[in-house]
Structure 1
Amino acid sequence: MRLRNGNNGVKSNCKTDDGDKYDLKALGHDLSGGADLKLRIENKQVKLVINSKEVFKTQYHKSIGKIMGIRLTIAGIGYFDSLQITDLKTKETF
């Protein structure tokens, strides 16, 4: 899934929510002071939560398989403090 604020919108494996057609203002956050971001994917439902507030929700119909990698990018100066991936079925953390 790729999240972008603006005309490029939100992209996932089979769906694009265009910023011209959908209100994506909830994705606009000042993260300069830090934030807790959670991306939860369960039962073909995708939820993005920023600081305990759900800011984006979508669903998909066909899985593209297991996670093979993650790419985190920042527009501007910044960093990611930590990344945790948890299998919701086994509770195994990677």
Structure 2
Amino acid sequence: MNKKDLLLGFLIGFATTLFGSYLFVIIMTEYDFISGIQIIKSQGNLGKIITLGCIATLAAFGLALKFNKELIARGMVLAVMVIALLTLFI
């Protein structure tokens, strides 16, 4: 059960980051998601957009802690650390 909760948290962390990045691109730019990501990447700001997308993960993390799902919250933290490492190499 421990590995399932950790994996679930990891997947939730990635999904909420993707969702947060999607919302940011759709709301703050006049482009659709794919062309917006391509333009932002050509400008060299993709890491910043992904970092702003992690704000949604913060809300999910707070909910996981509120409902005493510490292993799921730990998986979310792991996802954020992996995303942070990936943004260094993008």
- Given the two structures, how large is their TM-score scaled by the length of structure 2? 0.29
- Higher relative helix content: 2
- Given the two structures, how large is their TM-score scaled by the length of structure 1? 0.28
- Greater relative contact order (Cα < 8 A, sep 6+): 2
- Higher relative strand content: 1
